[in-house]
Amino acid sequence: MAAQTILFDFTLDSAKTADEKQRQDVAKILRNELEHVFPQLELVYSMESPENGYFSVLHENKATIITCRIFQHGLLTVNVEYFLPAGKEPIMSFDGLVHGKSLENALAVKLKAIRGQKLPALRRGDVPRYFPSSDERIIEYDIDKLVYEERSPFQKIQILHSKTLGNMLLLDELQNIAESDLIYTETLMGRGIENYEGKEICILGGGDGALLYELLKENPKHVVMLEIDELVMQACNKYLNSICGDVLEKRRSDQYEIVVGDCVEYLKKFIAEGRKFDYVFGDLTDIPITGEPVGVDWDFIRTIFEHSFKVLKPDGKFLTHGNGTSCTESLELFEEQLALLKPKVKYTTSKAFVPSFMEEWLFYQVTFA
């Protein structure tokens, strides 16, 4: 069961919506055309104001609610909202009673619109299916099932099933990894480029277990993974074991150890002990989308930089994900923070299109200059 919302937008000649009488004439045309689709349409509320233009609410059989706005600059919006019980056909779809695109075309002709658009129905209230891209555009996923949902002391954890991506992990409603996303892990670790055999490695975060699982295939000397959220690991062990194998089940072997705790505190401990690594992975917070490098998230990123390079061997590497390649401003801010580090560092980047992110992401490989 879900509420369905269908959005129509039209751009009219602004001369046709400049005053109240003209907007009322447009509203009459609009209502007459809608009555062909919804024969029992009733006007329940209307308002005209200089600031907001024309606004009306109509309903059909008290089941479908339609809101119309006519703005004085020529923009007209129509929102159709209704509840769809399970097993019923939507009233506006390619297979339903009314072809929504046909209605959009008919309205555009009657209104002599410069342009018009009908968006696919937004389905709300059954399973989560709309999530943001890295630059905060809305992406609709083919989610058909909520597999797992809990709130840990640190974050909201969800595992959703996508028809094309498989099970997908979301933390605080941000995509993290899916069964489809081996390319993410392989690009982060530079598979085929980096040589991990006999190396000592530290993973910061990585609670889904995918990075650890793939690194162990490269025969490292030892890997320590520092993950703060026990509940993430339990969920991924149960529902994402196609990408993490049994590493989250065992937690420890001769080759690796998973430590549950704050990675910053453990990095401080390693610094005090003089422990050094060939590779440190930052599999943690995404680069924030902000105009300036200020706030808690940026402070955390700088702290991770500061401590990570203190536990790297002189020829070691810090590897991390950046953000979507469309987030140019936030990536530039991130690179500015790298340029401020002492001792100096240098970096290279790589890119990959990550299926569950539905966009290309940038990855960083940082070494001492």
Question: 281-307, pLDDT tens digit by residue?
Answer: 999 988 888 889 999 999 999 999 999
Do the Cβ atoms of 304 and 266 come closer than 8 Å?
no
The H-or-E segment that residue 366 falls in is: strand 359-368
Cα distance between residue 297 and residue 267, in whole Å = 18
Does residue 90 register a pLDDT over 70? no
pLDDT of residue 91: 64
Asked if the model's pLDDT at residue 87 lies above 80, the reply is no
Give the rounded percent of residues in the chain with a pLDDT score beyond 70.
96
Flag whether pLDDT at 95 surpasses 50: no
pLDDT confidence band for 93 (50 / 70 / 90): low
* H-state helical runs in the chain: 20-37, 100-111, 182-189, 210-216, 230-239, 241-244, 247-250, 263-273, 296-308, 328-339
Q: Which has the closest alpha carbon to 287: 207, 189, 180, 174?
A: 174
Q: Where are any strands of DSSP class E within 85-196?
A: 115-118, 122-124, 130-132, 138-140, 143-151, 156-162, 166-171, 174-178
Contact between 327 and 287 under an 8 Å Cβ cutoff? The reply is yes
Question: What sign does the dihedral 22-24-27-32 (CA atoms) show?
Answer: negative
Q: What is the pLDDT of residue 97?
A: 46
In this predicted structure, the answer to whether residue 218 has a pLDDT above a threshold of 50 is yes
Across 311-338, b (16+ Cβ under 10 Å) vs e yields bbeeebbbbbbbbbbebeebbebbeeeb
pLDDT at 102: 82
What would the pLDDT profile of 237-282 be if each residue is shown by its tens digit? Answer: 999 999 999 999 999 999 999 999 999 999 999 999 999 999 999 9
Give the Cα separation of 339 and 364 in Å (integer).
Answer: 13
- Please tell me whether the overall predicted TM-score, pTM, comes out greater than 0.85 for this model: yes
Neighbours of 17 (CB within 10 A): 22
| pLDDT mean over 327-342 | 95
How far is Cα 115 from Cα 11, in angstroms, rounded to an integer?
A: 5
All domains of the chain, ordered by start, with CATH?
2-123 (3.30.160.110), 127-178 (2.30.140.10), 182-368 (3.40.50.150)
Give how far Cα 311 sits from Cα of 46, 280, 292, Å.
67, 8, 28
Burial of 93 by CB count in 10 Å (0-12 exposed, 13-18 middle, 19+ buried)? Answer: middle
Spatial CA neighbour of 109 closest among 56, 28, 33: 33
pLDDT for 94? 44
Q: Is 142 a catalytic residue?
A: no
174 pLDDT more than 80: yes
Residue 354 predicted with pLDDT over 90: yes
Catalytic residue among 246, 283, 297, 299: 283
8: left (phi over 0), alpha (psi -120 to 50) or beta: beta
300 by Cβ neighbours in 10 Å (0-12 / 13-18 / 19+) ranks as middle
Which residue, among 1, 56, 64, has the nearest Cα to 23 in the 3D structure?
56
- Separation of alpha carbons 90 and 96, rounded Å: 6
Of residues 125, 121, 122, 118, the one with CA closest to residue 86 = 125
What one-letter code names the amino acid at 346?
Answer: K
Q: What number is the average pLDDT over the span 11-40?
A: 90
Find tokens 């447009």 and name the residue.
26
